Structure 1
């Protein structure tokens, strides 16, 4: 992709965008299909990528490889899609594992489910190490010393990360309370 085409695209030239679209759309869709193993999802995400490319065209650096830029966007889009899908599936699995009948779905049970979901979503959004420390502490029942030893970090780091994790969870839950009460 030459600098002139990118510069014209940045200035809103529809012909330049059409050229970029025709040059890269099938390649991006094929790349996404390889990652997602779903042609329909790959096509939808490829369309979204090109819409976002048009909207954010001013941030493209014409002096850097456009090929690398578009494939980085495609890779990140696919990973974000897969991450979202796994959270969605985990929630569905969690809900189905509760095996509650409709008669038992009182307000308290629904409220508890929503709080649980909020906590799970907050944990999923945490940085990897904080998420791991929180899960080892809360789900596996490991002590702070054991976590520090297993992860090769100090006990103080474990305590700080747990404190930050709990702050995030409290913030999410308090926002929920404020919204509904």
Structure 2
């Protein structure tokens, strides 16, 4: 990531100039994505992380110090984003592996409760507004990323995130009520 932009562009970006942000984005996007991909070895995830990185850069544009090396700043936040991604992935993969190794023998009562809860969640999902139901299904049943869902449904990634959040909030509420009724 050894591009460089002039101090005037960086100061304009710091002051919220959208054209300056576009200049920074064009100058650094591909190299930042390639840098992150070198760490995480997934082009689609690297693209998503890079997009998030630039969104956060825009949101926090006023905190950029134009007197310091922008290359070093961008390199640091890109490296941290990649490392955080890998940590999250490691924890997730470890959790999945550990859960697959555990032998669990359930009782018929636990099986019944699990089936009831599953039916309750299925019923709740069916009653969700159509777009929320589709987004939840694509995410949880087909395992699509938020970006893939947004593209498939011709909507924004932010809308997908919002709808998923609302769906999960509804599901958590129903699970909580269900579990409280068992006590």
Query: TM > 0.5 between the two?
Result: yes
1:24 aligns with 2:28: yes
- 1:84 is matched with which residue? 88
Note the C-alpha offset of 1:100: 2.3
Give the aligned length.
110
Structure 1 residues 85, 105: CA separation in 2 closer, same or farther (over 3 Å shift)? farther
Note the C-alpha offset of 1:106: 3.2
1:50 aligns with 2:46: no
Please report the TM-score for the alignment, with normalisation by the length of structure 1: 0.56
Note the C-alpha offset of 1:48: 0.5
- 1:66 is matched with which residue? 70
SS in 1 for 2:85: helix
Q: Which moved more, 1:98-107 or 1:38-47?
A: 98-107
1:5 aligns with 2:43: no
The gaps in structure 2 that reach 5 residues or longer are 115-179
> What is the aligned counterpart of 2:41 among 4, 23, 37?
37
The gaps in structure 1 that reach 5 residues or longer are 111-179
RMSD of the TM alignment (CA)? 2.3
Note the C-alpha offset of 1:104: 6.8
> Whole-Å Cα distance in 2 between the matches of residues 9 and 67 of structure 1?
14
> Whole-Å Cα distance in 1 between the matches of residues 110 and 48 of structure 2?
39
Note the C-alpha offset of 1:99: 2.6
Residues 126-147 of structure 1: CA deviation (Å, up to 9, x unaligned): xxxxxxxxxxxxxxxxxxxxxx
Q: Which moved more, 1:25-34 or 1:94-103?
A: 94-103
Please report the TM-score for the alignment, with normalisation by the length of structure 2: 0.55
1:100 aligns with 2:104: yes
> Whole-Å Cα distance in 2 between the matches of residues 7 and 60 of structure 1?
9
Note the C-alpha offset of 1:50: 0.2
Where do 4+ consecutive residues of structure 1 move more than 4 Å? 101-105
